[in-house]
Amino acid sequence: MKNLVTGGAGFIGSHLVDELVRRGDQVIVYDNLSTGFRRHLEIALDQNAVELVHADMLDQDKLNDAMRGVERVFHLAANADVRGGRANTLVDLEQNIIGTHRVLEAMRINGAKEIVFTSSATVYGEPDIFPTPETYAPLQTSIYGASKLAAEAMIQAYGEYFGIRSFSFRFVSWIGERYSHGVVFDFIKKLQANPRKLEILGDGNQKKSYLHVEDGVNAICKALDNMKDLKNVVNLGHSDYLNVVDLANIVVEEMGLSGVEYDFTGGVRGWLGDSPFVHLDISRIRNAGFEPHVSIEEGIRRTVRYLLSNQWLLHDRAVGTT
C-alpha cells in the first residue's frame, strides 16, 4: 500500500513510518520539519525506504502533488501545544482545522480512500465519567481540544460525501523513544537547569494516563487490521494512570538526583484547558485485539533514559533545529 504520513518526521510519526516500512509498504513523509527531525528517518532515508517531502501542510499545491497515487493517509501534522492557544488563537484553527481540510481536499482530488487521524483526549474537556468512553458528550475547555473535535467532524463529513474510510484516534499522552514534547521533557529540562528545585504546574495531584509509543503504534495497526466501519472513533490509552508527583519522582530517580524540592504553582489544573484527570475507556480497541504491554512507570523510565542519552533532542527541540 502507498501511504502518506503528515508529520512523519516527528515523535509518533517516525515510529509509524518505521512500522509501515517493516510491513513492506511504500511511504511518503510530508513534514515541514518545524518540530520533526530528519534524523528520526535517517535509516529509512539511507535505505531509500521512504520519500521525504519537506513542505508545509497548508501548501495545497505541494500537498496535492505529494498525494498522487496514495491509498492511505496518516495525518499527524498539527499544533501539539495545548497551552499555546491562549497566546495565539489562530494556531489551532490554521494547523489543526484548516490543515486537516487541506489534507482531505488533496485526498478527494487524488482519490485516496482511507485516513488515520491523531485526535486527542482533550476533546473530552473535563469529563465526569471515568474511564471516559468514546460516546461521552463533552463540553470544550480548550481551543486545541475544540480544533481536534472539529477536525474529526470534517473527516467524517468527507467520508460520507466521498467514501473516505476514517480512523480518529483519541490519544492520551504518548511517551517513549524520540519523545520531544510534554511533561517528562519539561521536567528534565528544568532539572538540568536547577537540580535542586523542580517547578510543578498545578498542585501535583493531576492524574494522567500515558501510552508508550510501541503500544500506541501496535494499537493503530490492530484497529486498521480488525475494524471495518466507514467511520471509526477510537480511544487509545493505558489501563492505568499516574499522578504528577509520582511521575516527577521517577524522573528525579532516573536522573540520579536526591533532595529535590518541589515548587507547586497551585490549583487543580496545570493551566487553563488542562484536565485534572485523564483516563480513557479502551474497551473498543481491546475488542480489536490490543492490550498495552509497557507499564506507565517503565515507559517513563525508558523516556528519561532515551532523552539523557540523546541530549541533542533536548537542545534541538528547544531551539527549533531540524
* Separation CA 177–CA 307 (nearest Å): 8
Catalytic residues: 144
Residues 36 and 147 occupy one common structural domain: yes
Residues 79 and 222 occupy one common structural domain: yes
pTM for the structure as a whole? 0.96
- Dig out the grid coordinates for 164 from the structure: 473516505
Other C-beta atoms lying within 10 Å of the C-beta of residue 47: 9
Residue 83 belongs to domain spanning: 2-174+212-236
Q: Residues 6 or more apart from 191 whose CB is under 8 A from it?
A: 198, 251, 252, 255, 257, 260
Residues 39 and 143 occupy one common structural domain: yes
* Separation CA 78–CA 149 (nearest Å): 13
- Dig out the grid coordinates for 103 from the structure: 489534507
* Separation CA 231–CA 223 (nearest Å): 12
Q: How many residues are there in the chain?
A: 322
Domain annotation covers residue 18: yes
User: What is the separation, in whole angstroms, between the first and last Cα of the chain?
Assistant: 28
Residues 109 and 204 occupy one common structural domain: no
In DSSP terms, 115 is beta-bridged to 73, 166
User: What is the pLDDT tens value at each position of the chain, 322 positions in all?
Assistant: 999 999 999 999 999 999 999 999 999 999 999 999 999 999 999 999 999 999 999 999 999 999 999 999 999 999 988 888 888 999 999 999 999 999 999 999 999 999 999 999 999 999 999 999 999 999 999 999 999 999 999 999 999 999 999 999 999 999 999 999 999 999 999 999 999 999 999 999 999 999 999 999 999 999 999 999 999 999 999 999 999 999 999 999 999 999 999 999 999 999 989 999 999 999 999 999 999 999 999 999 999 999 999 999 998 765 443 3
